[in-house]
Structure 1
Amino acid sequence: MAAIILAWKPGIRDGWQPAYPDAVEHVAEAGTFAARWSVGQRRNIPAGTEAWLLLQGRHARGLVGHATVTAEPYSGAGLAAPDDAVNFVDLAVDALLPRGEGIPVDELLARVPGVPWKAVRSSGTVLKAEHEPALRALWAENVLPSGPDPTLPVPGTLPGPAVERVLANRYERDLQARHACMEHHGTSCSACGFNFEAVYGELGHGFIHVHHVVPAALLGPAYELDPITDLVPLCANCHAMAHARADLVSPGELRRILGTSRSVLGDVASPEQEAAWDDARRILEQR
């Protein structure tokens, strides 16, 4: 399925609801943001299509975000368009950079020269598959995780092991690696079975942390990531517990802990906790 480029021209139309800075903050805090995007008269954009958000205009032009199409094009009649000549798609935005911090167009032209970045005029421009690897690599190099992360060292204190930890953290956030991991393992936590969409509905669609199971001490210049065996999906709680020890807590050990924790006296579990425990026990029995 080919990816597309979605153009945003704030000087003509700023359709972000809420305002763009609020949307950036929402993605940083929640991991995803639901948006509606005009694609003109285009219709052949199936749900699941990957989308790159390109800021246009005189200032700060460049790549500012990444999203997945969650609903194929539908008529704009009754929405922001006066008739049904304009179509819209629904998006789940999973990465959004503040204005001024995107990847500049000049850098895009230099690193991904096969794409006419300056000539993109409308949303829905198809990104050829041959150009996707270079774009993903450029995005991974330039975009660092936003917001505090307990798995990252304090800025300015980077001894050798900490540098390795940052590298592992970047593997966890590499879009291509994340997609390969989730395509193989799904989006339920591999330790407790928690699924964000099952609990939060559409808000949690496609949301899950990805954990790098290889200890930082084993990383080195010759290391090559295998997203199927080296990455596993974990919910936020299990991901934090996996990093509770310097040598990492494996998903299997987390499952064993969860399998015995429900016997603690005096603990009143919620229905969601009961379901998570049942899922953890089921996963443990299958392995």
Structure 2
Amino acid sequence: MFPKVETGMNVFLLVWNPKRWDHWGDHLGEVAKTAAGQPVPGSWSMSSRRSGVFPGDRLLLLRQGRESGILASGVAVGDGPECIYEDGHWDKSKPDETAFYTNLEWDTVLLPEDVLPRETLKQQVPEVTWERVQGSGQILESPVAEKLLALWHEHLSDIDDPESETWRSPTDDEGWFIEGKRTTKTVNRYERNRKARAECIARHGDSCVVCGFNFGKRYGEHGLGFIEVHHLKPVGGGGGKQRKVNPDRDLRPVCPNCHAMLHKTKDRSKPLSVAQLRRMLLEDLDEEDWEEEVEAQPPDKCPACGGNRFGTYLRGLIAAPDDELLRQMDQDEVRIMGCLVSDEDACWFCRDCDADILEEGWLVPDGEVVHQLNRLTELHYDGVIDYDEFRAARKRLLDPSALS
């Protein structure tokens, strides 16, 4: 699964100090891509090293400062015999100077909270003076390199191993991750997938979708990339069974305060929706205003095209849309429906084929089916049929599987 130290292959330490350079533009996206097994091309400064890096050499990135430790790994790439080249300095305050770089492909990029900690490195690989690694390009002697790579691979296995921590590997279904299997250690707990979490943050960002708070902007390096992930459908509600979780559809980044408020309901298995809490924040509403409302979930796949990317129709008057809602509207993640809605109005729309989908997961009807539904509703209101008969007849009209 992981590259091994081979004869003729060198291992180098790269260094990243976020205080000196915090412009890793798509860090969250690269976390998600490498978690899904996609190599990510890039380049990195080699400090004063001007030669000696060849295609296939292994590169390990040490993050300095807070949450110090090994954050990423990759392989040097290049067309020539060596991979180092000279270009403009990465420090924009030095416009007249140059620096030396190597092209590479990242095979693993982690969130800061998942690093292989420096304290562990000091204990397990004492041959390296970890406090004194000042710049990129330090080459490791073969026995030390083998020890460090083995420790790195063990760390990656540990955070992905359901028997050691809380993560599971992706299923074979593209875009889906397995979550929620109950295991027993000291207490029962529910597994949460590191890769699904990384994909959620890559797709939705690291700002709270309710209040917009961003820890990195507020606390600088100390808060960089920190955010909690909220399961729109509680992960503990599966009775200990595994279930499929789609990061785009099922997960949202939220700050700890908003996360606690989402779950502060009379029935903890039915959290408030993100839209509900956002409106509480804007309009100073109480939970009682939402007592009758239950968070619904879109189907596993679109009944029209089989896709799994859904947007949400928001119902009601949005008096003062915030920046996050405007962003979601701009990216077609949500659409405003209005106040006067019925059971035959869509709850979701497919972002792949634009089909409108009812709360039950069926396609919105048209033509003769609408006429039959209207007649069915009249019979129910007139007392000719009771509610159960009405629901059963409605399902026969709308659910294709009910006819089989």
TM-score calculated relative to the size of structure 1: 0.49
Radius of gyration: which is bigger? 2
Q: Quick one: higher RCO (CA 8 Å, sep 6+), 1 or 2?
A: 1
Higher-helix-fraction structure: 1
